[in-house]
Amino acid sequence: MSVRPRMVRYDACMASRRNFLSTVASGLATSLAAPASVLGANDRIRIGIIGPGSRGQELMRHALACENADIVAAADVYTRRLEEAKAIAPQAKTFTDYRSLLEDRSIDAVLIATPQHLHCEHFIAALEAGKHVYLEKTMAFTVEHARKMRDAFRRAQNRVVQIGHQSCASGMMADALRFLAEEPMGKITAIHMTMYRNTPHGRPQWARPVYPDMTPENIVWKAFLGEAPDRPFDANRYINWRFFWDYSGGNVYENMCHQIAFWYKALRLSIPRRATMTGGIYLWKDGREVPDTMCVTLEQPEEMLISWNSGFGNDRLGSGEDVLGTDGTIEKASQIRYTPQRVNVKDRQEKLGVSRAPQHALMEDFIRAIRQGGETACPFELGFRVSIACRMAVESYRLGRSAVWDAQREEIA
């Protein structure tokens, strides 16, 4: 459970937050109840995966690291991915149509690690098939998708949903909540975030090779496109989908989402009032549409400004966040620490994080919730808020102006 930090004022945002929570209350009421069929500690949980690509294969290994969990099925539009999934889970059945996987009533839970534009389709279908769902980030591709997914979540009876923001189950989250509960932060007015990477010359960030077997015979192209605009088969668009707006939200959806999810949970933050994103393709002129250098600002109803700076041409600033309060600072990078603001707090000492969690902690929490019930570490409503914030940033960039959240109509203006 998130712990409210001392002296952080929430009055300005509570009405907005209450409005949001009322829209998902009925869904949460069923989601937090005991699972439809409570499983004992020794009962094996049968798991299928939709999208066993590079990230999906990591999730498979995370699931297999959990006690009494089996991967029994895999579905993907690319036949090579099914062969790779079999190498991890030799007994798994394989399908090129995910609907065949969902028809198997013996499957308890589904992991979804498909491109972002397909999340809505696969999430709704999995819930309607009666499965518990672990969905990779970012949860929803568009606002319309987020609303449709919420409707499906409301209808689902006692189904566990975990959204794949791993840091929400990390030791750093435990430490952040402890710092916020124990140490004075005063009024938090800003969070500054960075996410910088670099790669060798000639090796663009995210670029993946096109293999000879990436052909219409081995890739179900129409299924990959989903609701995206119809196009002739293009192996580069398939394998490098992160480059294109039809399927991707760029680095906002890849990495900003994780960083804001952490603090949206720890500080109980709402959907931003306004988002502004600037930047461009300054480095990699390789046909990508999403920017490689960018700056996002999120104006929060909690009277707080979140800034996120990111680029792919220099890694000196790395990845981290600084939460800035009048009485203290929390810095999060390779470790997390609290530092008092001596101008206002004289009797406090610096604290370093000490909590640890396994790499598969979020998956372990998902399995725990299936067995025991209770809220997951990254529940649906957190994924909803994060996905709206991310979409607002992308819309701002593409429109060339700030994007404003209309909380009453639940639309970006």
Of 4-8, 134-138, 378-382, where does mean pLDDT reach its minimum? Answer: 4-8
Q: What is the dihedral of CA 298, 361, 112, 32, to 10 degrees?
A: -80
By the 8 A CB rule, do 358 and 370 touch?
A: no
pLDDT value at residue 294 = 98
Q: Is the pLDDT of residue 277 over 60?
A: yes
pLDDT value at residue 5 = 38
Q: Is the pLDDT of residue 30 over 90?
A: no
Stated pTM of the model: 0.90
| pLDDT band for position 31 (cuts 50, 70, 90) | very low
Phi, psi at 148, each rounded to 5°: -65, -40
CATH class of 171-222+240-357+391-412: alpha beta
| Higher per-residue confidence, 261 vs 8 | 261
| pLDDT band for position 373 (cuts 50, 70, 90) | very high
Edge-to-edge strand list for the sheet holding 411-412: 351-352, 336-340, 328-332, 319-325, 188-196, 304-311, 293-300, 274-280, 403-406, 411-412
pLDDT by residue (tens digit) across 196-246? 999 999 999 999 999 999 999 999 999 999 999 999 999 999 999 999 999
| pLDDT band for position 10 (cuts 50, 70, 90) | very low
pLDDT by residue (tens digit) across 390-413? 999 999 999 999 999 999 999 999
* Amino acid in the structure at residue 290: V
pLDDT value at residue 8 = 37
pLDDT by residue (tens digit) across 296-344? 999 999 999 999 999 999 999 999 999 999 999 999 999 999 999 999 9
* H or E element in which residue 392 lies: helix 380-399
Domain-by-domain residue ranges, the chain? Answer: 24-168+361-379, 171-222+240-357+391-412
Burial 166-177 (b: 16+ CB within 10 A, else e): bbbbbbbbbbbb
| pLDDT band for position 41 (cuts 50, 70, 90) | low
Residues 6+ apart with CB under 8 A from 260: 193, 298, 306, 308, 386, 389, 390
By the 8 A CB rule, do 135 and 51 touch?
A: no
Looking only at the bridges linking them, the beta strands covering 161-164 and 132-136 are parallel
Q: Pull the structure tokens for residue 317.
A: 């600033």
Fold matches, 24-168+361-379 and 171-222+240-357+391-412: no
Give the largest Cα separation in the chain, rounded. 69
Share above pLDDT 90 across residues of the chain, in percent, rounded to a whole number: 89
pLDDT value at residue 337 = 98
| Higher per-residue confidence, 183 vs 4 | 183
Q: 24-168+361-379 adopts what CATH topology? A: Rossmann fold (3.40.50)
